[in-house]
Amino acid sequence: MTLPDHGPDTGAAAHHHALERLYAAAPINRLFESRLEIVAAGVARIRFRLDERHFHAGGAVHGTSYFKMLDDAAFYACNSLVTDRFLLTTQFNLNFTRPLGMGEVTAEGRWISGTRRVFVADARLLDSAGEEVARGSGTFMRSRIALAGLPGYGA
C-alpha cells in the first residue's frame, strides 16, 4: 500500500510519519498488504487485507497473523511516544474471539502506561463489519537501536 503524502513535518507529526515509513520499509510487511497510521501520540491503527495465503489448513487465518497485527498496533502506539529508540516486544498475550476469513481487518493499538524504559499497550482486531475478533496486550522495552539509523525512518 502507498503512504499518504504529508506536507512538511515538524515535531511529533514528523516522528509519526517517520514511523509510518519505517513500518512500510520492514521486510516482513512484504508478506502483508497493510498500512500503518499513527492516529495520535499513543494510538496506532493498521489496516490489513488478508487472503488465503494467511490461512491454516482449516481454512481460516492462522494465529501468527493475529499476533503480527496486534503486536504491531500495540508496538507502534508505544513507539509513537519514543523519538530516539526502537522498542522491542518483551511479552505479549492474545485472546482470540472468533475466526477470521479473507478481507479487510483493522488493528487498533493504544498505549496504557510507561514513559521511560518499559511501556504497556493494548490492541484489538476488528473485522470488516467492525466486530472484535481478537484482543492483546504487551510490554515493550527501549532498545539500544537508534530510530534515526533504521531504513525508512529517516527517508
**Tens digit of pLDDT for each residue in 65-84?**
999 999 999 999 999 999 99
Please give the pLDDT value at position 128.
Answer: 95
Please give the pLDDT value at position 6.
Answer: 46
Please give the pLDDT value at position 141.
Answer: 98
Q: Give 92's contacts (C-beta < 8 A, 6+ positions apart).
A: 67, 70, 71, 74, 136, 137, 138, 139
pLDDT less than 70: residues of the chain:
1-9, 155
Domains, the chain, in order of start with CATH, read: 11-149 (3.10.129.10)
Longest Cα separation, the chain: 48
Angle at alpha carbon of residue 39, lines to 68 and 141, rounded to 5°: 50
Q: Which residue intervals of the chain are DSSP H helices?
A: 11-25, 63-79
From 151, 134, 123, select the one nearest 22 (Cα to Cα): 151
Please give the pLDDT value at position 154.
Answer: 85
Write down the pTM of the prediction.
0.92
DSSP states along 114-130: -SSSEEEEEEEEE-TTS
Please give the pLDDT value at position 9.
Answer: 65
Please give the pLDDT value at position 5.
Answer: 44
From 55, 74, 67, select the one nearest 134 (Cα to Cα): 67
